Structure 1
Amino acid sequence: MLDQSFVARSLEEIRFWSRIMKEHSLFLKLGFRCDDTQLINEANHFYAIFEAIENKSNAFNIGTDPSVIKRFNEEVHIAVSYIWAFKRKVLGLILRCQLPGANNFPLLVDHVSREANYFRNRLSELNAGRLEPLPDAIIDENVFFLRIMADHAKFISHLLDPSERQLVEQANNFSQEFDTLLYQARDLESMRPESQTLPLLDQFLDQNKVSVKSLRDFKKTARDMIEACRIKSIIHPLLADHVFREAEHFLVIIDMFENSLTGNSA
């Protein structure tokens, strides 16, 4: 049963995050200047790598030998480490003003590198069999994902056309809301272990869930409107869907934590 859980968790993480890494490669490429051929080629290379990983993960199932999945996790870990290094290299070039005129925000590049580091750490934890105790995981996962959600709101605000005033205002409001939730999460983080009581953690999850659902719905509406060409923006339709899926993923994690806290699920 433990082996099945390891296989299921590993495949779930890889299937979700390998697609995210693949799409990061595309978004970074779209933000490079046409003369940045080396960076474009590197981004295309990573796109192909993570597409292959995604396809390979879909060929496995819950009955796959855990030793095969453990080796697969190691293989994916190497690929993620390389794309993390690529993202940090790109961030350094931007911050040293060596890519003037390119369209990748420094915060966006830092954001996608944080997600790569998260994915890499999760693979290491799975293979080592040392997932965090539930109270620590609840706080740490929320600190990570609340910042991701706050970043998304900022990106949406800056990529919408300035004339979309109402949508820009909504995105800015979400940015402020999630910054506040993040500060609260960090306060809870610094107060641990004393803060890790069931009532406080349960309230923490409830409050975050309400806000994430609201942001998820906003992202879904924006995605649908972008796909229908009903709003003015420079947001790629795939990017709109990408941030929507990450909000959905966060909600799944919150639900899992809530069930675990109340004893409904391991």
Structure 2
Amino acid sequence: MSNEFVERSLEEVRFWSRIMKEHSLFLKLGFRCEDTQLINEAEQFYAIFESIENRANTFTEGTDAQVIRQFNEEVYSAASYIWVFKRKVLGLILQCKLPGANNFPLLVDHVSREANYFRNRLMELNMGRMEPLPDAIIDENVFFLKIMADHAKFISHLLDPSERRLVEQANHFSEEFDQLLFQAQDLSSMRPQSQTVPLLDQFLDQNRVSVKSLRDFKKTARDLIDACKIKSIIHPLLADHVFREAEHFLVIIDMFEDSLTGKPVDLRDIH
């Protein structure tokens, strides 16, 4: 159990600290030139999470569990602070105190939800109180389906309007994932009666198909942006960022499938 705790903790911190670092950059790029205080705060968070990411990469599965537990507490504190910063920025935008800035309110809410998810994961790991599998399957999918729906909306709004086919595809994914989210919320409201293996297995299979399609769309968009073959205001790192989050969701889905049914998971099928 000690090795599993260390391994799972490091996986979470390595993935999400990089995400938090990149959030700091994206927020910074969306501020106005005169928002120097907010820009400075974003830069500080970038440095904090870059340091956390680097430290996480120095640990191994053989690191003492108590060392990792203390590290998790430090990271939890950093995640809590960036969550407060993101909610502050959201408040300023919704109160019309940052006119002309380029951070969508939904994007700021989105990144704050991910910060809250990250800190909750760290707290659960340190307390050893992970959700039962049926609850985890539903709750994780509700969370990530909303994240995927948001991504599609961001892509649609950041593509140049003249990229009509890509905008149409992004809007299609937005609608598809909204519907999947509604279905997941219905399954959630039917708990515990809905938590049968056949229903949860079908739930995972259906979501996997859609996430793979979205992941492939994101990969295509990322590659086109890197090659300067489409018109958009999407930062190349943002394109890669949303692609990696889709990959992460697929890994989670297949891990759940393995735990639920005992089917072996081949990560090569994901990548």
1:105 match: 104
Give the SS at the match of 1:168.
helix
1:249 match: 248
1:263 match: 262
Task: Give the whole-Å Cα distance in 2 for the aligned partners of 1:202 and 1:62.
Answer: 31
- 1:145–1:250 Cα contact (<8 Å) kept: yes
Return the offset for 1:58.
0.1
Q: Deviations over 1:184-213 (max 9, x none)?
A: 000000000000000000000000000000
Task: Give the whole-Å Cα distance in 1 for the aligned partners of 2:198 and 2:262.
Answer: 14
2:24 match: 25
- Residue 114 of structure 1 aligns with an amino acid whose one-letter code is R
Q: Deviations over 1:213-242 (max 9, x none)?
A: 000000000000000000000000000000
Task: Give the whole-Å Cα distance in 2 for the aligned partners of 1:233 and 1:74.
Answer: 39
Return the offset for 1:263.
2.2
Task: Give the whole-Å Cα distance in 2 for the aligned partners of 1:75 and 1:86.
Answer: 17
2:71 match: 72
Task: Give the whole-Å Cα distance in 2 for the aligned partners of 1:255 and 1:4.
Answer: 21
Task: Give the whole-Å Cα distance in 1 for the aligned partners of 2:195 and 2:170.
Answer: 31
Task: Give the whole-Å Cα distance in 2 for the aligned partners of 1:264 and 1:5.
Answer: 20
Unaligned stretches of 5+ residues in structure 2: 266-271
- Residue 152 of structure 1 aligns with an amino acid whose one-letter code is H
- Residue 35 of structure 1 aligns with an amino acid whose one-letter code is E
| TM-score normalised to structure 2 length | 0.97
1:154 match: 153
Give the SS at the match of 2:200.
helix
Unaligned stretches of 5+ residues in structure 1: none
Whether 1:88 aligns to 2:87 is yes
Task: Give the whole-Å Cα distance in 2 for the aligned partners of 1:166 and 1:264.
Answer: 38
Return the offset for 1:262.
1.1
2:37 match: 38
1:48 match: 47
2:268 match: none
For 1:154-193, what aligned pairs fall within 5 Å after superposition?
154-193=153-192
Whether 1:117 aligns to 2:126 is no
| Count of aligned positions | 265
1:6 match: 5
For 1:222-241, what aligned pairs fall within 5 Å after superposition?
222-241=221-240
2:269 match: none
Give the SS at the match of 1:54.
helix
Task: Give the whole-Å Cα distance in 2 for the aligned partners of 1:7 and 1:71.
Answer: 11
Return the offset for 1:265.
6.9
Q: Deviations over 1:50-103 (max 9, x none)?
A: 000000000000000000000000000000000000000000000000000000
Task: Give the whole-Å Cα distance in 2 for the aligned partners of 1:35 and 1:226.
Answer: 29
2:196 match: 197
Moved over 6 A (4+): none
Aligned-residue Cα RMSD (Å) equals: 0.9
- Residue 235 of structure 2 aligns with an amino acid whose one-letter code is H
Return the offset for 1:109.
0.0
- 1:256–1:265 Cα contact (<8 Å) kept: no
- Residue 144 of structure 1 aligns with an amino acid whose one-letter code is F
Task: Give the whole-Å Cα distance in 2 for the aligned partners of 1:112 and 1:252.
Answer: 20
2:129 match: 130
Return the offset for 1:264.
4.4
